[in-house]
Amino acid sequence: MAGIEAIPFGLLVFVVGVLLVSNAWAVIDAKMTVASAAREATRAYVEAPAGSDPSALALDAAAEAVRGGGRDPARLTLTAVSGSFARCEKVTFAASYPVPAITLPW
């Protein structure tokens, strides 16, 4: 019975490790989703037909990419960093998505 106190401590370490890994995976998943949203927004913006609103099309494409990743598009922040709707113009979009942090007991 000398080592019985190690079992609850080991279980606590295991649970904290699982929480840490799951939070890290949530951050990686959000990063991949945001990169996809920015890419799709840029693609929709530059391929927008003449006479349409390219910013609205970009926002719709980004929201669809976030929805496809299983996340809420309402939490996505999309901003046009550079460029305008002109021929051969370089366009850059930046996207961000908040990921809640898990508080660990240590």
Instruction: Encode pLDDT of 78-103 as tens digits.
Output: 999 988 887 888 999 999 999 988 88
pLDDT in tens, 4-40: 888 998 999 999 999 999 999 999 999 999 999 999 9
Q: What is the pLDDT of residue 2?
A: 66
pLDDT top residue among 7 and 3: 7
Instruction: Give ∠ CA 48-42-67 in degrees, rounded to 5.
Output: 100
DSSP states of 19-65 as a string? HHHHHHHHHHHHHHHHHHHHHHHHHHHHTPPTTS-HHHHHHHHHHHH
